[in-house]
Structure 1
Amino acid sequence: MNQITPETASAPAPLTGITVLELGAFMAAPFGAMQLADLGADVIKIEPPVTGEPVRSTGDRIEGHSAAFMMLNRNKRSVAVDLKSEDGKRVLRELIEHADVLIENFRPGALTRLGFGYDEVRRWNPALVYVSGSGWGQDGPLAAKPGLDIMAQARGGLMSVTGTNDGEIVKIGVPVCDLVCGLYIALATMAALKARDVTGEGQFVDTCLYEAGVSLTIWEAARFFTSGEAGTPSGTAHQASAPYQAFRTADGWVTLGAVTPKTWKGACDVFGLERLVDDPRFADAATRYVHREELATIIEDLTRGRTTDDLVDALDDAGVPCAPILRTDQVYREEHLNQRGFFWDAAHPQIGAVRQIGSPMRLSSTPTVRRNAGPVLGADTRDVLAAAGFTTDDIDRMVAEGVVGASTDF
């Protein structure tokens, strides 16, 4: 199928016409709102003047700008507002009255104390979808605690099943609870918008890092609900089938999954282990799992003598799912992703082109949009406030008083 681009699309992006206010910091809310922006929503990021949200000062930089910020906040607009001032609150109220969605990830109760809790804002805009992402949820004994990704991974059991039995405790290499919570934010937002099409009413959505992480423990929960046993670390191996893991090669690593009769036979043929096909210890994926350590030793004794490329080619030819383990610098140069146009350059007014990770959502008629990199702080303050009905004099006064910030005024 020929790749459809925003320029060749037959219809507007799916969420064109939806206005989203994002009061987010770090990852969960910004990542969730980014999905909506990629799908065409007008996402207006509300930030404090002068400093902006914390990711602006975090991580690797390009000409003084955070590279991570410019990815997490692509396709968005920035409005800088001091929400502790009365005029700033008036600005936010005006924006809320005309918005479809509000996404926030402050600690529970923070926006309520500012006068922008759901029970308050629904009186101004009954159709508003109000989405809260927090560490632990809006209620329950943990609700008031601060919660970051590593705490959600820890309390959610993910760190207890990551790594190896004889190794130190490790966390998953990416902030998975933050990111999955962000995906749930986007999914729930679209569900609530669909429900609004029927009822005409908005609703409140409660998402959290903790439950987002626990929701991923499918195999571990199945074991506990069946036998009462806790999950344990298994390195790269699968929780219930074998062989399904990484093996050392002469020059690196290869992963493979030979858990069906066909792929198991294919793997045995590649490794010259035809004798194991009829071995009762390895008769099916379940029995191979019971004897997985013995089997892994047999296989790795053979993979260590061959290069990764040789093994991938041989396993591919035999129809056995496999892949090399790549470093991230190899991933971003990888031929398959680049041929599919996964990475793209977003425009930034001060830097020029800023490289982006693409969206995995490939819609055939209404593709995701590819517009700007994460905006300069306050770049859109004047335009957004003018569209909301504020006069030029009113905006100028608020800029002079530090209530709002516009990029040309910093």
Structure 2
Amino acid sequence: MSEAILKGMRVIEVSAFVAAPLGGMTLAQMGADVIRIDGLDGGLDYHRWPVTDDNTSLFWAGLNKGKRSVAIDINRPEGRELAQALITAPGTDAGMLLTNFPPRGWLDYDTLRAQRADLIQLTIQGDRHGGSAVDYTINPRIGLPYLTGPQDVDGAVNHVLPAWDLITGQMAAVGLLAAERQRSRQGIGQQVKLALEDVALAVMGHLGFLAEAQRGVQRQRHGNDLFGAFGRDFVTRDGQRIMVVGLTLKQWRSLCEVTAITEQVEALGRHLQVDLNREGERFHAREALASLVSPWVAERTLEEITALFEDRGVCWSHYQSISTLLEEDPSCSEQNPLFKLLEQPGIGQILTPGMPLRFNGHYRTPQPAPQLGADTEAVLMDVLGLSSSEFGALHDQGLVRIAHR
């Protein structure tokens, strides 16, 4: 097991859904003490699908691994004061808040800063004005649903991966670490805001989508073809589907060699008067190139192709369902040290990934998500210094709850 890189850092998380919980979990997986504050019956995403037969959220368990859970009645003034005390509690590596809730009321930055001047608060927003937005409302605005799907489809095609949430979650972790570094050097805290919409717009700029449109080019749908190079799906003799990519020149030459089409490709280039060693020209000639690769694939089984492609270093993949991935792919099993079979409270044993980053060549062992309120007593006693009797009084007043299911 590698060292807990962020050991000693404490972050309070008040959040729901994907981006903020993912940011907190990323820090927790590197060893930070991430304390999640929820209401007595859980947050907005406590029963988010997918769920078990008894309505326990696999989603919530997946995004809160390695954290501690505190359940407080934040609808009452006394509960909000208790939560604020946790956020602003003393400690050199404490005083950090991650949230995607509006920074007002008990989460107002200036209110919290009055209790701790060097507070770091990172707030994830929908848009930069504080309006509501999620991946499924941002994508329609930025145009990607008109680039996704088969070429002959008329209309929008959404995809299922919440890409902007995922990127925003990682950026939230980076933002907190950057702000903490500045605080450690200069002794100052700050309010950091990160808008999901801004993340999406920035990425559209980074990848050239905006510049392309600014030049008057309207990108079209290309189905399963890789835009700007050669990449396409093919069907094997035994009816399996594979994806083959020739993005770099090395990848392209490996594919040509193993499929024995090098001479035909050279002849095609001369005929078209283009250099097919250039990735863009391979994209323009994709139909003709696919007609050379397709018969070779169609004559061979997946097993035969796997052996040949792996031996020659071809960049490729086999299309498979999530069930097949889980049941048959050794990379998605305990054969991969990223994963461990862990007992998840309320769910049972599940294959659980840790942090993909490897420090000194090692993965950190993943930890399960807590039960709601499992750490309420320990956190309030450790962080706020409450005695057993003081905690008991809060519990009797219904302000806090422990390990509720």
Q: Same fold (TM over 0.5)?
A: yes
* Contact 1:158/1:213, CA 8 A, preserved across alignment: no
1:200 aligns with 2:184: no
1:300 aligns with 2:294: yes
1:223 aligns with 2:212: yes
Change in Cα spacing, 1:266 to 1:368, as seen in structure 2 (3 Å) is closer
Identity %: 27
**Alignment partner for residue 327 of structure 1, among 312, 318, 321?**
321
Distance in structure 1 (CA, Å) of the matches to 2:313 and 2:266: 16
**Alignment partner for residue 401 of structure 2, among 389, 405, 408?**
405
* Contact 2:45/2:60, CA 8 A, preserved across alignment: no
SS in 2 for 1:170: coil
Larger displacement relative to structure 2 (202-211 or 37-46): 202-211
Which residue does the alignment assign to 1:368?
Answer: 364
Distance in structure 2 (CA, Å) of the matches to 1:230 and 1:120: 48
**Alignment partner for residue 111 of structure 1, among 90, 103, 107?**
103
Amino acid at match of 1:379: A
Which residue does the alignment assign to 1:359?
Answer: 355
Task: Give the deviation of 1:121 after TM superposition.
Answer: 1.5
Amino acid at match of 2:243: T
Change in Cα spacing, 1:191 to 1:369, as seen in structure 2 (3 Å) is farther
Task: Give the deviation of 1:21 after TM superposition.
Answer: 0.7
1:77 aligns with 2:65: no
Q: Any gaps of 5 or more consecutive residues in structure 2?
A: none
* Contact 1:39/1:369, CA 8 A, preserved across alignment: no
Task: Give the deviation of 1:185 after TM superposition.
Answer: 0.9
Task: Give the deviation of 1:352 after TM superposition.
Answer: 5.0
Change in Cα spacing, 1:82 to 1:295, as seen in structure 2 (3 Å) is same
Change in Cα spacing, 1:369 to 1:122, as seen in structure 2 (3 Å) is farther
SS in 1 for 2:46: helix
Distance in structure 2 (CA, Å) of the matches to 1:350 and 1:320: 43
Amino acid at match of 1:119: D
CA RMSD of aligned residues (A): 2.4
1:56 aligns with 2:42: no
Which residue does the alignment assign to 2:111?
Answer: 120
Change in Cα spacing, 1:156 to 1:316, as seen in structure 2 (3 Å) is same
Aligned length: 388
Distance in structure 2 (CA, Å) of the matches to 1:65 and 1:105: 23
Change in Cα spacing, 1:292 to 1:219, as seen in structure 2 (3 Å) is farther
1:213 aligns with 2:206: no
Amino acid at match of 1:385: L
After superposition, the C-alpha distances for 1:77-135 in whole angstroms (9 at most, x for unaligned) are: 111112221111110121111233211112xxx331x2321222222223222111122
SS in 1 for 2:103: helix
Distance in structure 1 (CA, Å) of the matches to 2:21 and 2:33: 13
After superposition, the C-alpha distances for 1:157-196 in whole angstroms (9 at most, x for unaligned) are: 3323222232253222222221121111112111222222
1:316 aligns with 2:275: no
Change in Cα spacing, 1:62 to 1:254, as seen in structure 2 (3 Å) is same
Which residue does the alignment assign to 1:149?
Answer: 135
- If the length of structure 2 is used for normalisation, what is the TM-score? 0.87
Distance in structure 1 (CA, Å) of the matches to 2:311 and 2:118: 55
* Contact 2:47/2:55, CA 8 A, preserved across alignment: no
* Contact 1:47/1:79, CA 8 A, preserved across alignment: yes
Which residue does the alignment assign to 1:162?
Answer: 148
Which residue does the alignment assign to 2:35?
Answer: 44
- If the length of structure 1 is used for normalisation, what is the TM-score? 0.86
SS in 1 for 2:161: coil
